[in-house]
Structure 1
C-alpha cells in the first residue's frame, strides 16, 4: 500500500508554468535535513535518509515505472495542421538543439519520478533562494520551450551540483548511470544560452499580443516587422550557431507570414490605422493600403448612389405615368429618345458626389500622415497609443474615423475574447448564486410587457 501511495503521488504532472512560488519554497523547510553535505558530516544526513527510506526498493520501483511511462510526461496537442513536419531538411544545428532538449526533458522527468532527487533539488532551491522550478515544455509551443530553457539557466548552479553529487545520493547505480547520460556539457549550456536569446523576443511578442488590454491587430504588423528585423540583423558578438539559427528561423518566418500575401495584406490594412503599425509600413505599402481604402470608399458611395437613383427613378416614372394623358402614350418616339433610353440617363449629381468624396479622402490621407508622424515623434510605440491617438485626432477625420473603428476592433489573438467570455461567465455564476429578491425579479419578464 505504501508503494502504491508513493507511486500515485509521484505521478502528478509538473505544471507547464512556473511551478515554484513562495508558498512552495516556504514548505521546503522540512526537507532541509535531506541536503547532502559534500564537505563532510554526511552521517546525519545518511541516517535521516535511511529512516525515510528503509531500502532502495521503493525508489527502484518508481524508476522502473518512470521508464515505462516516459511518453506520458510529454504534453501533446493537435498542432500538425499546416505545419511542415519533414525531417529531411534537418541540419546539424537543429539536431544539436534536439539532443540538448531531449536531455533537459529527460532530466526533468527523472527528478520528478525520484523522491530522493526531488527532495535534494527542492532543498538546493531553498538554499539558493530560487522560487523558480524546472518546468516541462510542449514541443509545438515555442514559449513553453523558452520557459523550460529559462528555468535551466536560472537553476544552472543547482543542476550542476546535482550532477557533481550524484554518487553521494542514495540512488541506485542504474539511476546514477541514467543521470550521467542527462549531464549537460559546456557545449550544451552554450546551446541553451543561444536558444534563450533567440526565443525571448518571440515570447515577449506573444505576451504583448495576448494581453487582456491589447486593443487591436494593428500593432501585430509592427511586432512582426521588428521580429523580422531581429532575425535579419547580425552583429560581431554573435556566435556562428546563433547566426545560423537566425537564418533557419527567418526562412520559416517568411514562409508562414510574408509568403501568405492575402494574410499579410489584411494585417497591413489593420496596421495602417495604428500609429505604431503605420510607422512600420514602407511608403509603397502605405500607398497600396490607401488605394485599397479609396476603392472601398468609392464602391460604398457608388452602391448607395445607385440605390438612391433607382428609388428616384421608380418614383419619377410612377408620377409621370399618372400625370400624362393617355393620348401622349401613342406619340411616336424619335431617334434621340430611343438612344437615351438605350444608353441610360447621365447621373451628373452622382459624378460630382464621387469626385467630392475622392477629394475628401485624399485630403484625409494627407492630414492623417501629418498627425501620425507628429504623434510618433512624441510617443513610443505602445499597445495603448492607438487609443490615445484616435481620442485626440479622431474628430478631424469624417471618413477614416469610421473605418478605423471597424479595423481596430479586431484583436490580434483570441485571448481577449476568451477572457471576456470567461469573465462574463464567472459574473453570471455569482449573480445566479445570490438569491436575494432583487435578482430574481430582474430576471422575470411578463409576456404582456414585451412588445414584439
Structure 2
C-alpha cells in the first residue's frame, strides 16, 4: 500500500478536512528545511478554504516572528562581544550615565563629572538628559560606549518584561542561554503555535490526561523550556474546541477510508458491548476488524469506531436498532459484504443480534425489528462462553463460597494499610516473593484464576498475617480446593491467552483450543497421581465445556472449520484431509457463485437408457441441451483446477503454532492460491472474542477516574476514540 496513514493501524489515510475559524485548533503541515515535524504523521487541517484575509494575517504573523528571531540573534551576538565587566554593567540596575557622574553632597540638584569634575544641573526631578549631553559634547569616546551599552540594556529590559521564568518567577534579566529563540511571543495563528497546540491535544488523549494538565505548573514550565515564545491555550479551549475539532478530523478521515474500502471486503466483524462509567453514564462500543486484501496488500485492520452514550432502556429492541446504526455508520452494504457481530452471551444481546426463531418471527407481541431476519451472523464470545462453563463448574462443586472469601481477603490488603504492611513483614520472614495481591474482575475468568494463583503463592505469608491479626483464615479443605482449581485452569489459561489478539487470526484458533482443553482435562482425569478436589473440579469442568461448546456449533460449524483450514498454523490437523479438501473446494465454488464468477452449480447427469430401449427422439430443446453439456464440462474442468489448488495448499507443511505468522504467510503465498485467498480474507478476519470492546471500556474506565466523574459523556466519547485511533509514528518507537 502506497498511501500515507494517519494512524499506525493500517487503514486511515491522511486527509485534509476544511479549516474552521478556531485559532486554537487549526493545524497545517509544516516543513522546515525539508524535515517533517511530529504532527506531519497525523491528520492535518487544510487551509484551502480559509479566507484570503486570514492567510494574509498568518503570513504577517510569521514574518513578525521571523523578525523577532532575527533581533534576538543580533542581541545575542552583541552580548557575546562584551567583556565580563561590560556584561555586569549591562545587567546592573539604574541608568548607565551614573558610571560617569556622582551626585553632589552639597546640592541634591547637581551632579559632578568623574572625568573632568564639571558640575551639571539635574533639576528637582533628577533628569539625566543634561548629563548625557555633557558626555556627547565633551567626552565623545565615553559617549559612544555609553550609547552602545544603554541600547543593549534597553533590549534586555524589554525581554525581562515579556519573559520571566515561570518556575522561579525571577525578575532578574535572562542569561545568554535564555535569550536563544525567546524574543517575543508566537502568534496564535502561526504554524509553529498550531503544531504545538495539536501535539498537546494528542498528548492529553493518548495518555488519558485530564484537561487540567495544561494548567499545572510543571507542565507549563516544561512547555516554556521547550518553546519560550508559546502561550498555552486555556483548558476549556482544549475541551470545547481543540480536542473536539481533532476528533472530527480523525473521525472524518476514518469514515472516508471505510467508504473507500468497506464494500470491497469479503467480510467485516463488529464487536459491541455495554458499559457504565463511574458516573453511572451508560455507553455502547463499536469496533471493527477485517482483512484488506489486494494485489500488494493483505492486512488485518482493527479500528475503534465509537464509544457513544447509550441512554436507557437497554432493551433488545434498542440494541438491535443500535446494531443497524453501526452498519450505517461504517457504510457497509450487508448484501455485498458478510457481516459478523461478536458479543457476550447476555440474553438481551442474543435476542437482539441472533437470527429469530420461527416462533419469534411469528409472535405478534415482538417488535417488528426483532421478528425480521438480520443481515448479519452472530458469533458468541469464546472467552465469555468459557467463563460461563467455569461459573457452572464452581456452582457444581460448591467453590463460590471459597472464592468469595478469597476475594474479601484480597480486598482487605487493598484498603487496609496496616494489613498490607503486616503482609509484607511476613513475606520477608517466610522468604516469600513480595508480590502484591491480584483482584478478581467478575467478567474475566482468567482474572479469577490469576487471583487464586497469586493467593496460593502467598499462602505462608497470608496464613501468618491472618492469624496475627485475629482474622478468619481458610481451612485445609478450602486450600485444597484452591490448589485443584489452579492446577486445572493453569493450562487452559495458557491456551486462551492469544484469543483476544488483534494481530493474528483468532476464530481459526477456537477448535484447536477446544481440542487442547478437552484433551488436557481428559489427561488430568486419567492421571493416577491426581486426586481429591482437583479431580472433582476437572470432571465437572470437562462436562460443562462439552455442554457450552457442543460439536454442532463448533467442530461441525463451517465458520470455525473453514477458518481453521485456511489458517496455515492448523490446516487439516483436526480432520481427515480428503474431507478438508472437499470443504474447501465447495466453499471456493460457492464464493465464486456469490461473486458472479465463472463457476456454476453442479448439474446432475442425464438418466442412461437401458439396452432394450430405443434411442430417444431428438428433443426440441436439443440446442439448450448442448449448452447444458458445455457448462457441465466447464464446471468439471474448473473443479479439477480448484481441487489441484486446494491439494497443493494442504500438502504444504503447517507453520509453527506459537511463532508462525498466518498473515505474513498469506501475504507471501496468496498469489499462488488465487481461489483460496478470498476465503482466507473472509474467515481469518473474524474475531473469536469481544475483547476489543472490553479494551475500549478499559480505556473509558481510565478516562472517567475517581477525580473525573463530572466529565461530560461527549468528552469521554472524544477522548476514548482519539486514544484508540491516534498512534505515535513508528519512527519514535525505538526511542
TM range, smaller chain: 0.5 to 0.7
Alignment length (residue pairs): 306
Gaps of 5+ in 2: 1-343, 351-384, 601-616, 700-719, 729-735
Contact 1:209–1:412 (CA<8 Å) still a contact in 2?
Answer: yes
Contact 2:585–2:642 (CA<8 Å) still a contact in 1?
Answer: yes
1:277 equivalent in structure 2:
570
Contact 2:446–2:493 (CA<8 Å) still a contact in 1?
Answer: yes
- Residue 242 in 1 paired to residue 534 in 2? yes
- Residue 121 in 1 paired to residue 423 in 2? yes
1:356 equivalent in structure 2:
637
- Residue 152 in 1 paired to residue 467 in 2? no
Distance 1:292 1:263, change over 3 A: same
CA-to-partner distance for each residue in 1:338-393, whole Å, 9 max, x for gaps?
Answer: 5458x77624442232111110122123212221xxx24xx532263423543554
For residue 141 of structure 1, the aligned residue among 416, 432, 444 is 444
| Larger strand share, 1 or 2 | 2
- Residue 227 in 1 paired to residue 517 in 2? yes
CA-to-partner distance for each residue in 1:394-451, whole Å, 9 max, x for gaps?
Answer: 33323223322322222333445877998973376689xxxxxxxxxxxxxxxxxxxx
CA-to-partner distance for each residue in 1:56-77, whole Å, 9 max, x for gaps?
Answer: xxxxxxxxxxxxxxxxxxxxxx
TM-score, reference length from structure 2 = 0.36
- Residue 103 in 1 paired to residue 405 in 2? yes
What is the RMSD computed on CA atoms of the aligned residues?
4.1
- Residue 384 in 1 paired to residue 665 in 2? no
CA-to-partner distance for each residue in 1:233-254, whole Å, 9 max, x for gaps?
Answer: 1312211432222221111111
1:292 equivalent in structure 2:
583
SS of 1:223's equivalent?
helix
SS of 2:571's equivalent?
helix
Distance 1:255 1:214 in 2: 28
2:242 equivalent in structure 1:
none
Contact 1:153–1:193 (CA<8 Å) still a contact in 2?
Answer: yes
Gaps of 5+ in 1: 1-77, 167-175, 310-334, 432-452
Contact 2:591–2:679 (CA<8 Å) still a contact in 1?
Answer: no
1:401 equivalent in structure 2:
677
2:546 equivalent in structure 1:
254
Distance 1:110 1:91, change over 3 A: closer
- Matching of residues 414-425 of structure 1 within 5 Å: 414-415=690-691, 425=722
Larger Rg: 2
| Larger helix share, 1 or 2 | 1
Return the offset for 1:191.
1.7
CA-to-partner distance for each residue in 1:179-219, whole Å, 9 max, x for gaps?
Answer: 22xx1233322221211111122322332111343334222
1:210 equivalent in structure 2:
500
Distance 1:346 1:417, change over 3 A: farther
2:480 equivalent in structure 1:
190
Contact 1:125–1:158 (CA<8 Å) still a contact in 2?
Answer: yes
Contact 1:210–1:416 (CA<8 Å) still a contact in 2?
Answer: yes
2:560 equivalent in structure 1:
267
CA-to-partner distance for each residue in 1:270-320, whole Å, 9 max, x for gaps?
Answer: 00012332254121xx544433332333345556779999xxxxxxxxxxx
Distance 1:278 1:135, change over 3 A: same
SS of 1:346's equivalent?
helix
- Matching of residues 30-179 of structure 1 within 5 Å: 81=347, 94-95=397-398, 97-124=399-426, 130-166=433-469, 176=470, 179=471
For residue 369 of structure 1, the aligned residue among 626, 633, 650 is 650
